[in-house]
Structures are given as C-alpha cells and as structure tokens.
Structure 1
Amino acid sequence: MTGKPETETRCVVRAVESRADDDGKMTVAGYAAVFNEEADIGGWFIETVAPGAFDRSIKEHDVRAFFDHDMGRVLGRKSSSTLRLEEDSKGLSVEIDLPDTSDGRDVKTLIERGDISGMSFGFRVTKQEWDETGEVPKRTILDVDLFEVSIVSMPAYDGTSVAMRSLEAARSERKQQNFSAAQRRLRMKMDLDMKVRSKA
C-alpha cells in the first residue's frame, strides 16, 4: 500500500437531540461514534472503536461539522467553538450550534420532525489491530485522524474497500513477520548444526 490511507466514514444511528436557548440559538447533540460497539462493515468484517481513539485528534485537529459529509454545507467548526467534541465513557460526544442559514434551519426542522436520526464521522486510521482467529475478521480502531463529523440523512458505512486494503496490508505484514521469524529459526538451527559438527 502506497501513500496515505484514504478517508473512511462511519455512521451511528442514534437519537440526535435538539435544544434552543433563550436567545433562540439552536444546538444539536449526539454521538458520532460509540465505543466497544460491534458494527458489521458490509459483511466483510466486524469493527469496534476503542476508547481513546479520538483523544489525540480532538486536541490536534480543527474538526468541522457538515451536513451529509458535504464540505459545502458547513454547520460548525471546532476552532470557532460552534462545534464541541468530547470523548466520554460512551463514545465521541458532539454538540453543534446550528447556523442561521438555510442548511442550519433545514437540519433543525428535520431533527425536530424526527427525519434525521444519525451522526457520522470522517476519519483516517492511524493505529488499528486485526484479529482473524474467528470466522469473521475483527478490526479494532485504536487511533484516528478525525477530519469531520456530520449530521446525516441516510446511514452509510462508506470506506469498506479502504478498510479491506488495510486488512490485506496487515495480512501481508504478518506473513512477512512470520517469514522473517522462520528465516531466523532456520539460521539458528544451521549455526547450531555447524557448531555440533565442528566439535565432533
């Protein structure tokens, strides 16, 4: 695999809450990811997100909030404090102060009507573990570069092919490690045989 890994997206279908303050400002809140919850990714593998996976990225990245992962439909931004992100015991908690724009008003109406019930996040995996001891491979995401969170109208698990390439890379690396270990064992055996022969 060459170059940087591509961006993946994942969606959590949970209630997205809305509230308005005395000034009429509309805030929506929910979870873009839930820790230790198994997700079936396209029937190819099972994925879980480990606690702490977002901690570094929340501190380092200026994350944006979009509607449906559309970069032209900005709802909030971490650096302007209109997007607030936090890891708690449950997962990646998200709060967005919706803008007084057509997208902001549309999202507010859709949430209030119950038409929207999902949040999602766009990320690039920087640390992961694969377990292939069972019938279906299991991926645990340990650390990510988090680029954006989205309020989404349709749940989707995009990036499956990217993750599959990641699995293939992990398998290739394991094969190389096993091959190298076998080579070391063979060299040690040959060295031992030579020593035994020289003493005979």
Structure 2
Amino acid sequence: MDRRSDLLGTRERRLMTAPMQVRADGDDTLVVEGYASVFESPYDIWGGPDKGGFTEIIDRRAFDKTLKSNADVPLLLNHGGMPLARTKSGTLQLSTDKHGLKMRAELDRRDPEVQSLGVKLERGDMDEMSFAFYAIREQWDDEKAERRLTEVSIHKGDVSIVNYGANSATSVGLVDAVRALAEADESELAAARSSLDRAEAEAAQRHLNAYLRAQRGARTTTSLAAARAVIEGLA
C-alpha cells in the first residue's frame, strides 16, 4: 500500500537546516530567532522520487490558518523533553515572512537546559531547526512524485532545535549575512563577490565569515550551506 495515502492528518516531522541568531537580553534572558521551515524550497522525502519517495514543497500560505488560531506550540530540543519556551506562555512567538516560518524564543538563563544549550548555540555546535506538524491540505502531481503542503496545523506540534537537519537551503548565520549584504554598498558587494570562491565551499565559508566580521562585526559564523546560499544570491 502506498504510504502517501496515510500522511494526511498524521503527525509528521521535517528536519531542515535553518538560520538561527542568539543574543543575550539582560542577565536572565537568551533570545533565539530563526526559521523552523522554509517556503518554496523542494526537499526529498523517503529518498525522493528515484527511491520510491517524493519531493515536498511548503506553500507560502501553509501556516496562515494555524497561526491565526493561536496554536499551542512548544520549543523543544530534538523534539523531546520539557519545553524551553511556548506560545501559550508568550515566551515563543511564531510568524511567517516571505522566507518561511519564523520563530522568536525568550529562554530563561536560570534553566539548566538553557544554560547548556546557550553555550552550544553560541559556539555553533547546534545550528539547525525542525518542526512537527499535521498536514491538513495537500496537492500532488499526476505521478505522485511531488507533494505541495498548502495547509498544515502546528497546534500540539512543536518547533525544535536539532542536532542535524535535512534541508540545506538555509543555515545558521544566514540571517546576519543577508542583512549585512542588504545594507552593503556596491563596493562592498564587489569585494564579497571577488572573495567568495564558487569552486570550494569551505573557502567560501571562510571568506564569508571574514567579510562579515570585517564589515559588520557579526559574531555568528556561517555554515557551508549559508555560504552557498549567499554565493547564489551574489551571482
């Protein structure tokens, strides 16, 4: 039996490499901002069409209804454990923009889990996000090779900071990079273009980090996925 027919209305998870920013807000609060999902960025499920799976895309309007309904959503670590923040308490805010599902969490530094996580986030040891959801509406192509999620519910789902993601469309530090590049003048952009090496992703990552430190004093370092994404944006 085709597992595709069983997906609608069941709890699903999507691991995605998504950008996060971490900063202190006073002595007791750590603010984490990032994306738990990205829009219009295809990724493979069950190995993709070539391996019996399919490609999935999240529509830009997929979260509109669930967010308007004041969904109760916790921020978790690897989809488990006690909440680090929660929409119900106001310590987690979820919204959408043209890029994806954005989250902002205010974490209490008195919490031992937050203390441990904060160090890992600031060092870049953990730099990816995920979300758990229920598909409400979907569209399939004729070959059942592509699924578009047009409406999902995240009520009683979650957003999570995770060890490993599956979609390299974005990554930690990309928000800082995009903002810095958006504010850069033509001479700065020319310097960035000349310093980013398309052929070697690791070199591009090093050059991008150096550029951000020099131009904007960015504290967060970028991943290889962020470097690739910015290179594409500069092309």
Same fold (TM over 0.5): yes
The corresponding residue for 1:140 is 148
CA distance in 2 between counterparts of 1:117 and 1:31 reads 11
Corresponding residue for residue 97 of structure 1? 106
CA distance in 2, matches of 1:119, 1:132: 31
Q: Name the larger-Rg structure.
A: 1
Separation (CA, whole Å) in 2 of partners of 1:73 and 1:155: 21
> Alignment length, in residue pairs?
154
SS in 1 for 2:113: helix
Q: Return the offset for 1:24.
A: 4.0
Percent of pairs with identical residues: 34
Q: Does 1:6 align with 2:10?
A: yes
Whether contact under 8 Å (2:18, 2:37) holds in the other structure is no
Partner of 1:27: 31
Shift of the alpha carbon at 1:132? 3.1
| Structure 1, unpaired ranges of 5+ | 158-200
Query: Is 2:30–2:106's contact at 8 Å kept on the other side of the alignment?
Result: yes
Moved more, 4-13 or 108-117: 4-13
> Secondary structure in 2 aligned to 1:31?
strand
Deviates more, 1:15-24 or 1:144-153: 15-24
Inter-partner Cα distance in structure 2 for 1:148 and 1:14: 15
Supply the distance in 2 between the matched residues of 1:13 and 1:156 (Cα, whole angstroms): 6
Greater relative contact order (Cα < 8 A, sep 6+): 1
> Residues of 1 paired with 2:165 and 2:75: CA distance?
16
| 2:185 alignment counterpart | none
TM-score (norm 1): 0.71
1:67 and 1:37 map into 2 onto residues whose CA distance is 24
RMSD: 2.1
Distance 1:118 1:73 in 2: 19
Gaps of 5+ in 2: 48-52, 168-235
Q: Distance in 2 between matches of 1:51 and 1:5?
A: 19
Matched, 1:153 2:163: yes
TM-superposition CA deviations, 1:130-177 (whole Å, max 9, x none):
1134xx7000001111121111112259xxxxxxxxxxxxxxxxxxxx
Q: Which runs of 4+ in 1 moved over 2 A?
A: 154-157
Measure, in 1, the Cα distance between the counterparts of 2:26 and 2:113: 21
